[in-house]
């Protein structure tokens, strides 16, 4: 990873019903996006549904303030589990240097003792500023 | 020309307009935060970020104002296809600095000349794609040269631009225009205190406050706790950003309470499938269908929230059924046969059983007839109990003996409540008066409930503040 000079910060917020209910004691695993998916942090949400902020490596700021740079941000994968809710996996969570990112996670109630399908969101499926079809 | 407005929520189609895809309904500010986090980089100079956000808000408000998709029969306001609209990545992370700017700007938009219409602020990245309009990458060097957001906008969209503020059309009050802060004493502060207490029933990290209409140290501490939880600048002052966030969170909290009362009314009704339901039908099975859809809609952004549970299967109900069928991989035909009903029931009952602690209480239902001078019965007792609840925080409203008889004292108390809440002061408790009083009473009653670990709201030390011991 070239020019790695700074960290970004990540906070995960787990709520249900459009933010009406904070989901406490969600288990949050933060992993690298590489194929080996190295586990970087294991966190638990508090009674406001929030994790502590954690530092994650991000590329140098020069990578994201002029066009055409190969790596404007680094990506991470976040997995959220809770016994009462469906598991959520978010890939492509973007980290920029010196920027705090908040990942809002909408938790869906699950049946007790039942394996629920994963909800998978891919935050990177649409790369900012690189979409060739923008004609709006 | 009608005035533009900011809707409470926006429905986004997750695909090209004619492509089958889910529609998600989310608060308008959350939509703009997602768009801004998806369209530009948070490391850009602040003026560049602001100029882009003005363009993004104007673009979205133009789609809503012109009913671009709705008028063509689509059940959504905007798409997330960048060939047509702005990028929106459902479920992605939101950058804190962008979020703060959006909280400030989400109801400000650009117009040209004397027009009130939000400008169709076309934009593109400016490198691989160029267009008439704003170049996203082009905003960066302009900001670095010291251009203000407004100057950046006029650089791309021409002179004669002005920035306007749109009212927020939602079941809550618009920002009063002046920040509420330590020492402020007003009815707005009282409303603020009631709402903070109600929110804190769900968010116990917010300390309880005494509802007295005075922005005291306890109130400031509660505001700070709210700001900390919701990533707002923690200054203890209720400016526009904090005001609207409180309104949005309060609205979502109250939505659950409203559903509870609907649920209570259906308590003795079987939720089993009886007959196929489709648009145009009316009756109790439709009402049950709507109630279950509303509960599912309160938890799944993919299902539009049905606010009107009236037993009439109209277009809104049909759209919610179609959204649910799409969610579950069923044929999206808007007709409720056994398969759709059972899938809906399973989803509903999972939520209900899992979330029981939030499905208590509720708001007492309107008894079905107007109550007035001379009325007697349990409904009158219930009304008097609710009025006494109001009297605990509103000195304008007298306390009543709970007799079950609607005498002159009850009538006068109802008139006082009607005056207070902006209703016609008739002294007769019709549907609107009942619902208003019941809603207000629920806010007070539930807001008073204290979690075991929660600061109780009575000053205990020199600072009288919440402690996190």
Cα angle at B25 between B20 and B30, to 5 degrees?
125
| Lowest-pLDDT range of A32-41, B246-255, B314-323 | A32-41
Top pLDDT among B20 and B456 is at B20
pLDDT number for residue B460: 39
Top pLDDT among A116 and B59 is at B59
CB B80 within 8 A of CB B91: no
Q: Per DSSP, what are the bridge partners of residue B164?
A: B109
Residue of A nearest to B24 (CA): A18
- Burial of residue A24 (CB within 10 Å: 0-12, 13-18, 19+) is middle
CB B210 within 8 A of CB B455: no
Q: B298 and A61: CB-CB below 8 Å?
A: no
DSSP class of B336: B
pLDDT number for residue A111: 74
**Is A3's Cβ below 8 Å from some Cβ in B?**
no
- Nearby residues of B251 by Cβ (< 8 Å), 6 or more positions away: B8, B170, B171, B172
Q: What is the mean pLDDT of chain B?
A: 90
pLDDT at residue B464 tops 50: no
pLDDT at residue A4 tops 60: no
Angle between helices B149-157 and B46-65 in degrees, nearest 10: 60
pLDDT number for residue B57: 97
Give the pLDDT mean for B128-138: 89
**Rounded Cα distance, B23 and B101, in Å:** 26
**Rounded Cα distance, B241 and B243, in Å:** 6
**Rounded Cα distance, B194 and B222, in Å:** 11
**Is A35's Cβ below 8 Å from some Cβ in B?**
no
Neighbours of B73 (CB within 10 A): 6
- Burial of residue B210 (CB within 10 Å: 0-12, 13-18, 19+) is middle
Residue of B nearest to A85 (CA): B354
Q: What percent of chain B has pLDDT over 70?
A: 94
pLDDT range class, residue A121, cuts 50, 70, 90:
low
pLDDT number for residue B266: 72
Residue of A nearest to B44 (CA): A65
Give the pLDDT mean for A51-61: 96
For tokens 């044929």, the residue is: B331
CA distances from B141 to A65, B132, B133, B152 (A): 9, 18, 16, 10
First to last CA, chain A: 34
- Provide ipTM, 2 decimals: 0.90
- Burial of residue B192 (CB within 10 Å: 0-12, 13-18, 19+) is buried
**Rounded Cα distance, A38 and A74, in Å:** 14
**Rounded Cα distance, B61 and B4, in Å:** 8
Neighbours of B283 (CB within 10 A): 14
pLDDT number for residue B86: 95
Give residue-wise pLDDT tens across range B319-342: 999 999 999 999 999 999 999 999
Q: Is the pTM of this model over 0.90?
A: no
pLDDT number for residue B148: 97
**Rounded Cα distance, A11 and B228, in Å:** 12
Give residue-wise pLDDT tens across range B89-105: 999 999 999 999 999 99
**Rounded Cα distance, A88 and A111, in Å:** 15
Q: B92 and A123: CB-CB below 8 Å?
A: yes
How many interface pairs between A and B have CB atoms less than 8 angstroms apart? 173
pLDDT number for residue A126: 47
- Chain A closest-CA separation from residue B177 CA (Å): 26
**Rounded Cα distance, B335 and A37, in Å:** 44
pLDDT number for residue A133: 47
pLDDT number for residue B355: 83
Q: B92 and A108: CB-CB below 8 Å?
A: no
Neighbours of B93 (CB within 10 A): 27
Both tokens assigned to B285: 């099975």
Residue of B nearest to A101 (CA): B95
- Nearby residues of B229 by Cβ (< 8 Å), 6 or more positions away: A22, A48, A50, B203, B205, B206
Report the relative pairing of strands A74-82 and A27-32 from DSSP bridges: antiparallel
Measured between beta carbons, the chain A residues lying within 8 angstroms of B59 are 136
pLDDT number for residue B255: 87
**Rounded Cα distance, A117 and B90, in Å:** 18
pLDDT at residue A112 tops 70: no
**Closest of B298, B267, B272, B268 to residue B285, by C-alpha:** B272
Angle between helices B136-144 and B46-65 in degrees, nearest 10: 140
- Nearby residues of B425 by Cβ (< 8 Å), 6 or more positions away: B415, B418, B419
Q: Per DSSP, what are the bridge partners of residue B12?
A: B24, B78
Give residue-wise pLDDT tens across range A59-107: 999 999 999 899 999 999 999 999 999 999 999 999 999 999 999 999 9
For tokens 């002179």, the residue is: B159
pLDDT number for residue B238: 97
**Is A56's Cβ below 8 Å from some Cβ in B?**
no
Give residue-wise pLDDT tens across range B159-207: 899 999 998 887 777 888 899 999 999 989 999 999 999 999 999 999 9
């Amino acid at each position: 990873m070239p020019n790695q000079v700074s960290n970004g910060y990540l906070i995960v917020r787990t709520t249900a019903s459009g933010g009406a209910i904070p989901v406490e004691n969600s288990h949050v695993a933060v992993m690298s996006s590489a194929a080996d998916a190295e586990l970087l942090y294991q966190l638990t949400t508090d009674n406001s549904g929030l994790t502590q902020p954690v530092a994650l490596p991000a590329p140098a700021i020069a990578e994201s303030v002029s066009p055409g740079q190969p790596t404007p941000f680094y990506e991470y994968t976040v997995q959220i589990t809770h016994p009462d809710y469906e598991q959520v996996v978010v890939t492509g969570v973007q980290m920029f240097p010196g920027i705090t990112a908040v990942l809002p996670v909408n938790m869906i109630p699950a049946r007790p003792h039942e394996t629920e399908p994963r909800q998978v969101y891919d935050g990177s499926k649409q790369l900012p500023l690189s979409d060739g079809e923008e004609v709006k | 020309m009608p005035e533009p407005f900011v809707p409470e929520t926006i429905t986004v189609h997750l695909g090209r307009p004619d492509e089958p895809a889910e529609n998600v309904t989310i608060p308008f500010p959350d939509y703009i935060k997602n768009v801004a986090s998806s369209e530009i980089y948070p490391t850009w100079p602040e003026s560049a970020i602001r100029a882009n956000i003005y363009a993004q808000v104007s673009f979205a408000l133009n789609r809503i104002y012109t009913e671009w998709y709705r008028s063509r029969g689509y059940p959504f306001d905007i798409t997330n296809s960048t060939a047509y609209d702005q990028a929106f990545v459902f479920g992605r992370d939101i950058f804190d600095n962008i979020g703060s700017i959006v909280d400030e700007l989400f109801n400000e938009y650009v117009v040209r000349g004397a027009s009130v219409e939000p400008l169709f602020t076309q934009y593109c990245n400016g490198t691989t794609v160029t267009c008439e309009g704003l170049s996203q990458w082009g905003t960066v060097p302009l900001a670095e040269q010291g251009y203000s957001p407004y100057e950046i906008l006029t650089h791309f969209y021409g002179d004669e631009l002005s920035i306007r503020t749109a009212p927020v059309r939602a079941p809550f009050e618009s920002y009063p225009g002046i920040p509420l802060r330590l020492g402020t004493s007003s009815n707005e502060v009282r409303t603020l205190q009631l709402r903070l207490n109600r929110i804190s029933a769900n968010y116990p990290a917010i300390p309880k406050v005494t509802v007295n209409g005075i922005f005291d140290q306890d109130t400031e501490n509660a505001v700070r706790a709210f700001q900390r939880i919701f990533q707002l600048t923690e200054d203890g002052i209720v400016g526009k950003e904090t005001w609207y966030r409180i309104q949005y969170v309060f609205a979502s909290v109250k939505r659950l309470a409203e559903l509870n009362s609907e649920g209570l009314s259906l308590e003795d009704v079987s939720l089993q499938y009886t007959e196929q339901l489709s648009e145009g039908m009316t009756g109790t099975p439709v009402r049950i269908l709507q109630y279950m859809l509303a509960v599912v809609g309160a938890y799944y952004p993919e299902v539009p929230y049905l606010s009107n549970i009236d037993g009439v299967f109209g277009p809104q109900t049909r759209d919610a059924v179609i959204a649910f069928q799409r969610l579950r991989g069923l044929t999206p035909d808007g007709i409720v046969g056994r398969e759709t009903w059972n899938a809906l029931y399973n989803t509903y009952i999972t939520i209900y059983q899992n979330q029981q602690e939030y499905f208590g209480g509720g708001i007492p239902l309107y008894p079905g007839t107007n109550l007035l001078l001379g009325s007697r019965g349990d409904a009158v007792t219930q009304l008097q109990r609710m009025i006494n609840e109001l009297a605990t925080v509103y000195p304008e409203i007298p306390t009543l003996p709970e007799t079950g008889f609607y005498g002159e004292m009850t009538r006068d108390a109802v008139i006082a409540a009607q005056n207070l809440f902006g209703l016609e002061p008739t002294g007769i408790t019709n549907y609107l008066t009942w619902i208003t009083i019941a809603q207000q009473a629920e806010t007070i009653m539930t807001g008073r409930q204290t979690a075991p670990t929660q600061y109780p709201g009575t000053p205990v030390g020199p600072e009288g503040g919440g402690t996190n011991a």
